[in-house]
Each structure stands twice: as structure tokens, then as C-alpha cells.
A and B are shown apart, each in its own frame.
Chain A
Amino acid sequence: MTEQKMIPPNTLMAFGAVGGLVGVYLAYFFAPANPIFVVFGALGAVFAAVWGADAVRRIASYGLGTGVPSIGMLALGMGIIAVLFSLALGIGAGGPIVAFIVSCAIGAIIGIISVKILGMTIPIMVSATTEIAGAGALLILGLGIVIAGSLDYAIFVKEVVTTGFIMMIYIAGGMAMLHPHNSNLGPDETQDRLLALSAEKAGIAVVLSGFASVAGMGAVVITVLIGIIIWYYYFGKYYGFVKRDAYKVVDTGLLPTEEEMQ
């Protein structure tokens, strides 16, 4: 994979931020009419996860020194705080966009602190922490609306937070952002393979939140189905990329039986 063929960061940022917000808003406005539209929230979460994975890829390739998971957990930590705060404000349709902005602001603050006080020398630290915070917030909003069927604070708290599904979103969503770079990093890392893995992981998160959904049977079925399709398609794509990038893929066969060992 040559450098020219890579998707530029700004394109992915627009793809993730716009795609994520549009997905969440489509789910927000159409879910009261028919709960199966929460599936748009799931799609928005996938967009956000792919964007976040690319931001993690850019920042972690500088070498954080702490392992890649730390930055994924940081992203979702900032996202969770921003989302609960913004939904608590009770500003209706303004909630998701405020959550996104507040999360980006928290990310920028953490980024600036890391550079100014801790003296981190990563040049894109501030912009990348802002991006992952925004992606984290959209991921939580998207998967949260799938589970609760609404972004009303009361319903969100009752169905997502009190039930504990927020921790599932935290880890499953975090996986979609941190795992792709963690498992693909190295000199042979390629962007398309990494992003395919991110979409595949996001598909798993969508399936899980679809199962947890209380938005009605239709919503459960369609979200789980879409999640499985995303997972299947991108797993195939990822496997294809692995075969393309690997020198050789060989079948090791099954474990030898006891007689064969002797």
C-alpha cells in the first residue's frame, strides 16, 4: 500500500463526524415514528468508530509509550462524561450536537494539558485527542440510542446506564477504536486493513447493542441483522487485506493426534 492511496485524515474526519451526527439525528427524529429507525444510530456509530480508529492510528503511530488501549479508554471516558452531561441539560434535539462539542472541548483540554504540562512531543496530540473524543461521544450516542430507542435523559439513564449496558458500549465501542491499531501496528501496517478491522469490530458492537435494545422487536431484529451484515462483509474484507499484505498464508492444519506425535 503506497502513501498516495491512503484516505486523507480530513476526509475521514468529515466522514466520521458528519456520518455519525447524521446517523444519530436520523435515529433521533425518526425513532418516535417507528423504532426500527434506531438502526441509523448504529450506522452513525460505525462511521464514528472508523474515524476514531484512524485518529488512534495517527496518534499512536508516534508511540505513546503506554500502549494503544490507553488512548481508546481515554476517548470513551471523555465521551461518556460529555454525553451524560449534554443529555442531562434537557435541551432536546440540541443534546447530540452539544455532546459532540463538549466532548471535543474536553479532548482539546486534555490534549493541551498533555503538551503543555506533561511535555509530550507528539505534534498532532491536541488535534488527535479532540478527534478521538468527538468520535467517542458519537459512538456512545449511536449505540446508546439503539439500546434506549431515545435520547431523553430519563430513558437513557434507565435503559442504558442503570442496566449497566453503558459499560458494554464502553468496552465494545472502545474495542472498535483501539483494537485495529493495536493489532495491526508495525512497519507493514496499512490503513485500509486497519479501517476494515475497525468496521468489523463496530459491527460486533452493533450486534451486542441490538440484543440489548428495548426499542421493540423490530428494532432488535433489524439492528442485529445490520450488525451481522457489517461484521460479515468487513471480516471478509479484512481477511482479504491480510492475505494481500502477508507474504504467504499457509494452513497449519489441525493439532497432531497423539499417534502422529510419536
Chain B
Amino acid sequence: MIDIVGLIAPNIFWILAIVIGGTLISISVHFISVGGAPAAMAQATGIGTGTVMLAAGAGIAGIIAAGAVMDLNQNFGVVLGAGGVGAMVMLAATMIVATWIYAYGVGVMPVSAKVKYDPITKYRQDLYVSQGTEGHGIPTVAFVSSLLGGLLGGIGAALAYYALMKVGTYAYSGVTPLEVHNLNLVGVVATFTIGFFFINSVIPSYNIVGTIEGFHDPKFKRWPKAAVASFIASIPLGIVAVIAVGALAFAGGL
């Protein structure tokens, strides 16, 4: 049996960081333009897959970027930035290729059904929505909104990753601290962060009932509910994660 109090006491700050990371992930999902199966058939605006898949894809890209950078540079800002940029790159690549397919393959133009004028380009939208659809493709405002979502989600994931790495490399009394290059530590931390990311991207996707266009969508106003839900859900998850990663540090990284 490991010393649970001795593990949690020095890491209260990092538990808080994990909780904030989870809340950021939850908010980020509201920005990402997801249309679900209808979008895949060009009958709704957004990327044609589920919220969880997309947010998790972006989050995992962020975790990979953050993890790769953390191996070289343990600066807080650099790791968070790498996570945010990694997730943004993944989303941008997904969206631009999807836009080519919608434009040149399906033959529809990117248009939003939720607003009359695109808030960014000021282009008229409603005239171009095909009858019987909820818009199609990824218009500029949805693209920009999704990038913001990727940034937030990536930062959230990187924050959780960074916090857990700090927990693992902390110098507990009577234990040689682990290095950031320890593969077992990286494996456990990455696995936790991914599980954590999945949970925190499912909660907001229930909140938006599966589809959202971005920050211009009326559903976006619901985000505080999901943020509170994820904040509360992340507290036990953060504590549990800190104990498991701390136990690895106590075991000397195996």
C-alpha cells in the first residue's frame, strides 16, 4: 500500500492544474464545428464526424506534440504552446481537406445555416443553403472557431500532461526523482491524459447534443454548464491520476 496523503499533499497545485485542463477541454468542444453523420453527407455544416472522435483526435495530436516537446524542453509555456499548436494543425488539416472534398467532390459550397451573414467575412449565407439541409461544408467562421477550439483543447490536454509529468518527476522524500525521459512514466501519463481527454470531451458533447457549428451557434451559450460539469468530474479523476502516477515515482519508475 502506498502513502496516499504523502502523495497528494505536495501535488494539490497540480491536481488543480489537471482540473483546469479538463475544464478547458470541455469548453474547447463547444468551439469545434461538428456536424456528425449529416455533415458527412453534406447535409449539415461542420466536419463530418462525432464530437468525441474529433475532439479526441485533436487532443491526442496535442498530447503527442506536448509530449514530444516535453522530452526536449520542460518550459511550461513551450509545452502548452506545443499542445495547442499540435491540436490546431490536426484540425486545420482535417478541415481544409474536408473543404476540398465538399467543394470539388460533393459539389457544395461551405455555408452556415445558423447565421444570415458570416460574422467574419460578412458574406451572405442563407441564400446558398440547399433546400432541406442544415448548411454544408465548413464556412470561414466555423473554420476559425474550430481552430480556437483546437487551441483551447490542446492547451487543456498539454496542461494535464504537464501537471502529471511534474507529479511523476517530483522529488519525494527518500526516492530518487524520475527523469522526464522515463518511458514508463511517459506511457502512464499519456494513457491517463488520453482517458481523461475522452471523458472530458464526452461530457460537453452531451451538452450540445452532438452537433454544433462554432461560437456563432446558439447552442454555444450552453458552455458554462459543461464547464461546471467537467470541473466537478475532473476533481476525482485528478486525484486518482496523481496517485497512480505518484506511485510510479515511488516505485522508482520500475
Query: Residues of A at under 8 Å CB distance from B?
Result: 64-67, 69-71, 73-74, 76-78, 80-82, 84-85, 87-91, 102, 105-106, 109-110, 113-114, 117-120, 153-154, 157-158, 161-164, 166-167, 170
A110 to B206 CA separation, bound complex (whole angstroms): 11
Q: Is B6 an interface residue (CB 8 A)?
A: no
Query: Residues of B at under 8 Å CB distance from A?
Result: 1-2, 36-37, 50-53, 56, 183-184, 186-188, 191-192, 194-199, 202-203, 205-207, 209-210, 225-226, 228-229, 232-233, 236-237, 240-241, 243-248, 251, 254
A117 to B186 CA separation, bound complex (whole angstroms): 34
Chain B minimum-CB-distance residue to A87: B244
- Chain B residues contacting A80 (CB-CB under 8 Å) are 191-192, 194-195
A164 to B60 CA separation, bound complex (whole angstroms): 14
Minimum CB–CB distance from A61 to chain B (whole Å) comes to 16
A-B contact pairs, 28 of them (CB 8 A): A66-B50, A66-B206, A69-B52, A70-B50, A70-B205, A73-B52, A73-B56, A77-B198, A78-B195, A78-B199, A80-B191, A81-B195, A85-B243, A89-B2, A90-B2, A90-B247, A105-B236, A109-B236, A110-B199, A113-B233, A114-B203, A153-B247, A157-B188, A161-B184, A162-B183, A162-B188, A166-B187, A166-B191
Q: Indicate if the CB atoms of B191 and A65 lie closer than 8 Å.
A: no
- Chain B residues contacting A109 (CB-CB under 8 Å) are 232-233, 236
A8 to B96 CA separation, bound complex (whole angstroms): 48
Chain A minimum-CB-distance residue to B226: A118
State the main secondary structure of chain A at its contact with B: helix
Q: Indicate if the CB atoms of A158 and B184 lie closer than 8 Å.
A: yes
- Chain B residues contacting A65 (CB-CB under 8 Å) are 206, 209-210
Chain B minimum-CB-distance residue to A155: B254
State the main secondary structure of chain B at its contact with A: helix
Known A66-B50, A74-B199; 11 more pairs at CB < 8 Å: A73-B198, A77-B197, A81-B244, A84-B191, A88-B248, A109-B233, A114-B203, A154-B254, A157-B254, A161-B187, A166-B191
